[in-house]
Amino acid sequence: METINKYIEENKDRFLEDLFGLLRIPSISSLAEHKPDMHKAAEYWKETLLKAGADKAEIFETKGNPVTYGEKIIDPSLPTVLVYSHMDVMPVDPIEKWNTNPFEPEVRDGKIWARGADDDKGQGMMHAKAFELMVKTNTLPCNVKFMIEGEEEIGSPNLGKWCEENVDMLKADVILVSDTSMIAADIPSITTGLRGLAYWQVEVTGPSRDLHSGIFGGTVANPINVLCSMIDKMVDGKGKITIPGFYDDVMEVSAEERELLGRAPFNEAEYKKAIEVEELTGEKGFTPNERTGIRPSFDVCGIWGGYTGEGAKTVLPSKAFAKISTRLVPNQDHIKIAELFKNHFESIAPKSVKVEVSSLHGGQGYVCPIDIPAYQAAEKAYNDVYGKRPVPFRSGGSIPIISTFEEVLGVKSVLMGFGLESDAIHSPNENYPLEQFFSGIKTIPLFYKYFAELSK
């Protein structure tokens, strides 16, 4: 621990500078115009790994964005840790809500402010720096491999195939991922479950051109009215999703496990205050944590159609659109769900409109057992740094690729997240507390140490 603290103290400023260099690259994977930035980010990661002490580091092209891979094999008989992170970030709109330039990081109030400060450049960089620390202080007890992808925020469409093509190179005993949050800065937690995701775009077409809402209004179906009505039908009065067959594969969580999960601290008043809502909502019969952790959800992520400018334009528009997502729980297959929704949504369209549903992306859910050495090593590492045993936690978020790793590589992932809810990932003013960044760099080498010991 002393070695760790000393190395961090001496290299603090440089660690931050190295992170800032990465944050300055606007590597937004969902916008085609940022394609060159994806290559810049891949190059930056390659240099970072080499400087940290990797034996080799390489950029692999895929059909989409590149993957940076690097490794240091110290002894083939020792356990191997495969670190996964992603170099791509979410778009920054609504840009007017940012207090600073999202791609010009700054430190203020003890936090790093930038798109990707937490998700996942900040958390990814902790691993590079922890790795460097172990190499430079001669304390690395495992072989290490890094794979940093550039398409996580768009559902990792090419990484699964890349893993299949590189199964041997990626051989490992555990995959280590920091792309999740802790319950709070003083309540360390390890995410043991992730939700899956299915995401669609729907297009409703009424008349073939925008019409005068006076001359036609009342007898020609308005695609916005229809879209609203169709969306409303997707969830019933009890918060249940109405797509036929949707819940067929949902694993109902046992009463005992629900009781255990219920022990995770949750302050409803504070939760509501943080996001400024008066009342929570959701599926009847479940607590807020259960609704986001062990139950699926249905959210419209975007909607648009008709006149959206200044003032009052009276129009009966030709088209309306929505981006719709469901979060899925382990055992629900996103491909099956994508089909179910498409068929159902198209089937309930009135004959007065045309409806098209296209699947935009998806991923499976994931569960990590809490009795494997890797999980226990993580538990001990957090305990050393935070002085508390971390709580196992089912997160509502999705990292679709995690279940693919298990399928393709046959390896479990441990989700050692250091983010906080207040980090505003995917939102304006994303940030990452310095404290969490440096605590992460402290915790990771301890994980390696315990993992090596427990794997003996």
Task: Count the residues of the shown chain that bind its own copies, applying the rule CB under 8 A.
Answer: 101
CA angle (312 as vertex; 308, 314 as ends), nearest 5: 90
Amino acid found at 20: F
**In angstroms, rounded to a whole number, what is the distance separating the alpha carbons of residues 425 and 153?**
11
Q: How far is the CB of 172 from its own copies (least distance, A)?
A: 26
Q: Does 288 bind its own copies (CB under 8 A)?
A: yes
In the shown chain, the binding pattern of residues 363 to 402 toward its own copies, with x for contact by CB under 8 A and - for none, equals: --------------------------------xxxx----
> Please, what is the end-to-end C-alpha distance for the chain in angstroms?
21
**In angstroms, rounded to a whole number, what is the distance separating the alpha carbons of residues 384 and 441?**
13
Among 126, 144, 147, 224, which residue sits at the site for its own copies (rule: CB under 8 A)? Answer: 224
Give the range of 2-10, 48-56, 85-93, 336-344 binding its own copies by CB under 8 A.
85-93
Q: Does 17 bind its own copies (CB under 8 A)?
A: no
Provide the token pair at 176. 């280590």
Give the range of 79-87, 253-261, 352-360, 378-386 binding its own copies by CB under 8 A.
352-360
Q: Does 360 bind its own copies (CB under 8 A)?
A: yes
Residues with Cβ < 8 Å from 25, sequence gap 6 or more?
Answer: 37, 40, 41, 44, 103
Residue pair 39/120 in contact by the 8 Å Cβ criterion: no
Q: How far is the CB of 385 from its own copies (least distance, A)?
A: 23
> Which 230-259 residues touch its own copies, going by CB under 8 A?
231-233, 235
Nearest residue (CB) to its own copies, 209 versus 263: 209
Q: How far is the CB of 115 from its own copies (least distance, A)?
A: 12
Among 155, 433, 440, 445, which residue sits at the site for its own copies (rule: CB under 8 A)? Answer: 155
Q: Is the dihedral of CA 207, 213, 215, 218 positive or negative?
A: positive
Nearest residue (CB) to its own copies, 10 versus 270: 270
Nearest residue (CB) to its own copies, 58 versus 210: 210
Write down the residue that tokens 């620390």 correspond to. Answer: 133
Q: Does 300 bind its own copies (CB under 8 A)?
A: yes
- Determine the length of the chain: 456
**In angstroms, rounded to a whole number, what is the distance separating the alpha carbons of residues 280 and 301?**
18
> Which 304-323 residues touch its own copies, going by CB under 8 A?
304-317, 320-323
> Which 167-186 residues touch its own copies, going by CB under 8 A?
181
Q: Does 159 bind its own copies (CB under 8 A)?
A: no
Among 93, 164, 407, 453, which residue sits at the site for its own copies (rule: CB under 8 A)? Answer: 93
Q: How far is the CB of 232 from its own copies (least distance, A)?
A: 4
Q: How far is the CB of 128 from its own copies (least distance, A)?
A: 24
| DSSP at 153 | G
Q: Does 264 bind its own copies (CB under 8 A)?
A: no
Nearest residue (CB) to its own copies, 128 versus 402: 402
Q: What is the DSSP secondary-structure string of 38-93? A: HHHHHHHHHHHHHHHT-SEEEEEP-SSS-EEEEEE-S-TTS-EEEEEEE--B----
Q: Does 105 bind its own copies (CB under 8 A)?
A: no
Q: Is 236 helix (H, G, I), strand (E, B) or coil?
A: coil
Nearest residue (CB) to its own copies, 83 versus 420: 420
**In angstroms, rounded to a whole number, what is the distance separating the alpha carbons of residues 99 and 114?**
10
**In angstroms, rounded to a whole number, what is the distance separating the alpha carbons of residues 290 and 270?**
17
Residue pair 159/62 in contact by the 8 Å Cβ criterion: yes
Q: Does 96 bind its own copies (CB under 8 A)?
A: no
Q: Does 425 bind its own copies (CB under 8 A)?
A: yes
